[in-house]
Chains A and B, each alone.
Chain A
Amino acid sequence: MHEDATQTSKTLLGADELVLNMGPQHPSTHGVLRVKLKLDGERVRGTECVIGYLHRGVEKIAEHRTYQQFAPYVDRMDYVAAVSNGLGYCETVEKLLSAEAPPRARVIRTILTELQRIASHLLWLGTHALDIGALTPLFYCMREREEILKIFEKYCGARLTTHAFRIGGLQYEAYDLFEKDVERFCKDFERRIQEYVDLLTGNSIWIGRTRNVGVLSAEDCIALGASGPVLRASGVKWDLRKAMPYAAYDQYQFEIPVGTRGDTYDRYIVRMEEMRQSRLICLQAIENIPPGAILARVGKVLKPPPGEIYHSIESPKGILGYYIVSDGTIQPYRVRIRPPSFVNLQALDKMARGHLVSDVVAIIGTIDIVLGEVDR
């Protein structure tokens, strides 16, 4: 059943199989992922992921920090979507405390999280296109992402690991021109996204490289736990923002884009459409940001009553879940983070078999992993 990729012959090309070690220093393994490829010529016969190069023991650290102290750590997991990580964590602890953030805070959280989703997808698009050999989209994507990061910077002073939210709401009130900035970005973005469409969507090389590559059926996705755009590209119309609304998502109209074939091209289309939907959510949200407090009264020292909670949100990569056990002290007894990248990465083997080495690169890109989150 299980085949160990390392057991094959080590000769250069004499044997039928060649083991190619991809990473951890490789341009397109998106960090320190290491994949051992078992090849027949250039055709992939099996893969084995070696991960953990970025393991920092976040879950262990959590047991030795107070609830508030741990909040910045989650930003370092999926470091291209720090805001989403923070949202998940803060909401989970709020649930553990049986508290709730005030409406104003929830709306601002939603806006920032959706902007973060766009930023994360933009980075994904740029690097994914780069993996497939299109150099230019990366810079266009970075240009737009920069606008989002500027909004973050103006809001909380940080660009990447923002720590934008606090348990119970927000620490900072939205700055004066916040709505204006978001609106301007959203207005521009419609035009910008058309540029990526022009460069890629109809490009026959792009279609040739992504169509029927890394196909995952809906059953496979669910069995392998793959979530997020990967799941939706396989045709499952399911999104936690709709299924179990959190933050202020229940107030807004948006569509869940789905694919039909579950291949790399569908995942591309789904993510592109998700960016458009996120933009629509942002536009709806800035229309009406309710006035009021931004921080619920949760106290300075958080001592949640003993018990446990599981809460998950739809991060840009998929289901981002937090399972927190409290023993009634100021420190969590156990924090378990369900990382979408980690679980989605499991599907790599299934997706890559039978394809060529070039496709492996495309498939790693299309799963959209962030190694900080895979390894934690």
Chain B
Amino acid sequence: MSPATQALLEFLRSWWVELLSGVVIVAIVPLVAGYVVLVERKVMADMQARLGPMRVGPHGLLQPIADALKLLIKEDIIPDNADKLIFWLAPVISMTAALTSMGAIAFGPSFQVARDINVGLLFIIGISSLGLFGIVLGGWASNSHYSIMGAIRSMAQLVSYETAAGLALISGLLLAGTLRIHGIVEAQEQYGVWFIFLAPIAFFIYVVASIAEINRAPFDLPEADSELVAGYMTEYSGFRWSLYFLGEYANMIVVASVATTLFLGGWLRPFASVRWLSWLDVLPALVTQAVGVYCLIRAGKQPVAVQTKFMWAVALACFALAAILAAPLVGPFRWRFLMRGLHGAFWFLLKVGAYIYLFMWLRFTLPRYRFDQLMGLGWYILIPLGIINIFGVGIAMILESEYGWNRWLALVVTTLVTLGAAFFLLHLNEKRKAAASSAIAVAKEAVAGDIYAG
């Protein structure tokens, strides 16, 4: 056996789990992203007094597959004056970055996607920020004004809001004291409280910044469909476009996972350390069971026999899942690892889902920011606030460890101070805005000579 083969075998032996999870990510995330899209459309429809997709499969459950097929067989257009190489490369970069960054996420104590590396959180942030290149290069390569404006907007926006998000994460990391994903969740278990309650302002900053980071409304300026048509994606169609789309939704899952891990207690059950609330462990099984029962009730009302059968299948799947989730609670299967693994994954995904639901809710409620307002919000409010908040959390920790203050007292005091700073910043921003609008008036006066042109 040659040394090369030996090395390869050795490599495979020790890394097969990671390789396999890589394959799993590539295989499953597109499907999941597709269903996130379906959920989004359903949520949107619910908020807008309509039904959403209803035609493909019962309640439109097969819609994502139909959409994917449609995108695959669509004509693939590359504009004549586009930079072919970069045009081809850009969506791939975007999606690769999003999928790679998923590697370090842990969906539960036993569902670490790849290895629990000791810079886990930084890895996720670093790799997912590479996705920006996909947007920028794609916008540039399309050789269209709308695209390039989208690209420039996106660049400015991501640079600003990644800073804000980073600052928010730092205050969480101060509390956790480690970058390891597992370590962060374990720290929250030890504290006995999620970091959202210890650093609420950091969480708020992260929510805002993460929406901006993945270009979703109300910060979807790079693709602002009513202004820039589709921004950097204007010239893309078919499968390339769907790669961008996939990247966006994968990124959504990534930022939601990061927020869940750092602020929402990861895979911990709510009140994980409160003994008398242990009955909450029953919830996962109950919830899935309820979904199954709902499917059964709806099954009879489906218009087509195939759909009824599909509903039955969904219901059965739900019941099976419920049984699996209930297993660790009863009889011979009361194994701790099963409990932690399955229920951890359930809670984690539930929190991620709730976070994504929040994104959707905001998207369908709020109008879009204007570019200068967006930049103002980032640079004049979120970033200073993030810095102040780091000081606040740091001071609270010092007060606790060096001066023996009560942790809660220290945090409440510093949080209140930070809040005060936030209102002060808001006040400053109002003043700045007033100045800016008068500047516009001045600019209008300056061109008043030719107002009747055109």
- Chain A positions within 8 Å of B, measured between CB atoms, are 1-3, 5, 12-13, 18-21, 26-28, 42-43, 45-49, 129-136, 138-140, 143, 199-200, 203, 205-206, 208-209, 211-212, 215, 349-350, 353-361
Which residues of chain A have C-beta atoms less than 8 A from B366's C-beta? 133-134, 203, 205
Which residues of chain A have C-beta atoms less than 8 A from B218's C-beta? 133, 205
Which residues of chain B have C-beta atoms less than 8 A from A132's C-beta? 226, 367-368
Say yes or no: B145 contacts A349, CB within 8 Å.
no
Contact-size category for B: 35 or more
Which residues of chain B have C-beta atoms less than 8 A from A43's C-beta? 443
Say yes or no: B371 contacts A18, CB within 8 Å.
no
Tell me, in angstroms, the Cα distance from A348 to B453 when the chains sit together: 11
CB < 8 Å neighbour of B371 from A48, A353, A354, A356:
A356
Tell me, in angstroms, the Cα distance from A268 to B25 when the chains sit together: 48
Majority secondary structure, A binding face: mixed
How far apart are A230's CB and chain B's nearest CB, in angstroms? 16
Tell me, in angstroms, the Cα distance from A200 to B48 when the chains sit together: 15
- Decide yes or no: A2 and B367 within 8 Å by CB, A212-B440, A355-B440 being known contacts: no
- Decide yes or no: A47 and B363 within 8 Å by CB, A135-B48, A208-B373, A356-B370 being known contacts: no
Query: What are the interface flags for B44-65 relative to A under an 8 Å C-beta threshold, 1 for contact and 0 otherwise?
Result: 1001111000000000000000
CB < 8 Å neighbour of A140 from B48, B149, B228:
B48
Say yes or no: B227 contacts A48, CB within 8 Å.
no
Say yes or no: B367 contacts A200, CB within 8 Å.
yes
Say yes or no: B229 contacts A349, CB within 8 Å.
no
- Decide yes or no: A26 and B443 within 8 Å by CB, A136-B364, A205-B368 being known contacts: no
Say yes or no: B48 contacts A1, CB within 8 Å.
no
B447 within 8 A of A: yes
- Decide yes or no: A2 and B450 within 8 Å by CB, A132-B226, A353-B444, A355-B440 being known contacts: yes
- Decide yes or no: A27 and B365 within 8 Å by CB, A12-B148, A135-B48, A349-B453 being known contacts: no
How far apart are B357's CB and chain A's nearest CB, in angstroms? 15
- Decide yes or no: A140 and B49 within 8 Å by CB, A26-B229, A133-B218, A349-B453 being known contacts: yes
CB < 8 Å neighbour of B447 from A138, A203, A212, A353:
A353
Q: Which residues 411-454 of B have a CB within 8 angstroms of A?
A: 433, 437, 440-441, 443-444, 447, 449-454
How far apart are B424's CB and chain A's nearest CB, in angstroms? 17
Say yes or no: B225 contacts A27, CB within 8 Å.
yes
Which residues of chain A have C-beta atoms less than 8 A from B47's C-beta? 136
How far apart are A30's CB and chain B's nearest CB, in angstroms? 11
How far apart are B252's CB and chain A's nearest CB, in angstroms? 17
Say yes or no: A361 contacts B365, CB within 8 Å.
no
B402 within 8 A of A: no
Say yes or no: A134 contacts B454, CB within 8 Å.
no
Which residues of chain B have C-beta atoms less than 8 A from A359's C-beta? 370
Say yes or no: B367 contacts A209, CB within 8 Å.
yes
Say yes or no: B149 contacts A27, CB within 8 Å.
no
- For this complex, 12 residue pairs linking A to B, each with C-beta atoms less than 8 Å apart, are A43-B443, A131-B226, A133-B224, A133-B366, A134-B365, A135-B364, A136-B364, A205-B366, A215-B441, A354-B444, A358-B227, A359-B370
Tell me, in angstroms, the Cα distance from A359 to B441 when the chains sit together: 14
B217 within 8 A of A: yes
How far apart are A29's CB and chain B's nearest CB, in angstroms? 10
How far apart are A143's CB and chain B's nearest CB, in angstroms? 6
Tell me, in angstroms, the Cα distance from A28 to B441 when the chains sit together: 25
Of B48, B146, B220, B370, chain A has the most CB atoms within 10 Å of the CB of B370
Which residues of chain B have C-beta atoms less than 8 A from A20's C-beta? 145-146, 149
Chain B residue nearest in CB terms to A263? B437
Which residues of chain A have C-beta atoms less than 8 A from B443's C-beta? 43, 353-354
How far apart are A201's CB and chain B's nearest CB, in angstroms? 12
Tell me, in angstroms, the Cα distance from A13 to B143 when the chains sit together: 11
Say yes or no: B49 contacts A143, CB within 8 Å.
yes
Say yes or no: B447 contacts A45, CB within 8 Å.
yes
Tell me, in angstroms, the Cα distance from A132 to B225 when the chains sit together: 10
Tell me, in angstroms, the Cα distance from A100 to B224 when the chains sit together: 51
Tell me, in angstroms, the Cα distance from A1 to B225 when the chains sit together: 34
Say yes or no: B437 contacts A212, CB within 8 Å.
yes
Tell me, in angstroms, the Cα distance from A162 to B454 when the chains sit together: 35
How far apart are B87's CB and chain A's nearest CB, in angstroms? 15
Q: Which residues 139-187 of B have a CB within 8 angstroms of A?
A: 143, 145-146, 148-149
Of B218, B367, B372, B441, chain A has the most CB atoms within 10 Å of the CB of B367
B369 within 8 A of A: yes
- In order of increasing CB-CB distance, the 5 nearest A-B pairs are A133-B368, A139-B48, A28-B226, A48-B454, A354-B443
Tell me, in angstroms, the Cα distance from A21 to B234 when the chains sit together: 14
Tell me, in angstroms, the Cα distance from A349 to B452 when the chains sit together: 7
Which residues of chain B have C-beta atoms less than 8 A from A135's C-beta? 44, 48, 217, 363-364
Say yes or no: A357 contacts B454, CB within 8 Å.
no
Which residues of chain B have C-beta atoms less than 8 A from A203's C-beta? 366-367
Tell me, in angstroms, the Cα distance from A19 to B145 when the chains sit together: 8
Say yes or no: B145 contacts A18, CB within 8 Å.
yes
Say yes or no: A356 contacts B372, CB within 8 Å.
yes
Say yes or no: B454 contacts A358, CB within 8 Å.
no
Chain A residue nearest in CB terms to B140? A12
Say yes or no: A3 contacts B453, CB within 8 Å.
yes
How far apart are A52's CB and chain B's nearest CB, in angstroms? 14
Which residues of chain B have C-beta atoms less than 8 A from A354's C-beta? 440-441, 443-444, 447
CB < 8 Å neighbour of A357 from B149, B447, B450:
B149
Tell me, in angstroms, the Cα distance from A361 to B369 when the chains sit together: 13
Say yes or no: A133 contacts B145, CB within 8 Å.
no
How far apart are A354's CB and chain B's nearest CB, in angstroms? 4
Say yes or no: B440 contacts A27, CB within 8 Å.
no
Say yes or no: A2 contacts B453, CB within 8 Å.
yes
Tell me, in angstroms, the Cα distance from A138 to B47 when the chains sit together: 12
Which residues of chain A have C-beta atoms less than 8 A from B440's C-beta? 212, 354-355
Which residues of chain B have C-beta atoms less than 8 A from A349's C-beta? 451-454
Say yes or no: B226 contacts A130, CB within 8 Å.
yes
How far apart are A259's CB and chain B's nearest CB, in angstroms? 17
Tell me, in angstroms, the Cα distance from A43 to B371 when the chains sit together: 11
Tell me, in angstroms, the Cα distance from A45 to B228 when the chains sit together: 18
Tell me, in angstroms, the Cα distance from A226 to B298 when the chains sit together: 55
Chain B residue nearest in CB terms to A28? B226
Which residues of chain B have C-beta atoms less than 8 A from A134's C-beta? 365-368
Which residues of chain A have C-beta atoms less than 8 A from B367's C-beta? 129, 132-134, 200, 203, 205-206, 209
Of A43, A129, A353, A355, chain B has the most CB atoms within 10 Å of the CB of A353
- Decide yes or no: A1 and B437 within 8 Å by CB, A136-B365, A140-B49, A205-B366 being known contacts: no
Tell me, in angstroms, the Cα distance from A286 to B168 when the chains sit together: 60
CB < 8 Å neighbour of B227 from A13, A199, A357:
A357
Which residues of chain B have C-beta atoms less than 8 A from A350's C-beta? 451-452
- Decide yes or no: A205 and B454 within 8 Å by CB, A20-B145, A45-B447, A140-B48 being known contacts: no
Query: What are the interface flags for B188-222 relative to A under an 8 Å C-beta threshold, 1 for contact and 0 otherwise?
Result: 00000000000000000000000000000110110
- Decide yes or no: A199 and B365 within 8 Å by CB, A46-B453, A131-B226 being known contacts: yes
Q: A2-B450, A3-B450, A205-B373 are in contact. List 15 more A-B contacts (CB 8 A).
A: A1-B452, A2-B453, A20-B149, A27-B226, A49-B454, A129-B367, A130-B226, A132-B367, A133-B366, A138-B48, A139-B50, A208-B373, A209-B368, A358-B227, A361-B227
Which residues of chain B have C-beta atoms less than 8 A from A3's C-beta? 450, 453
Chain A residue nearest in CB terms to B363? A135
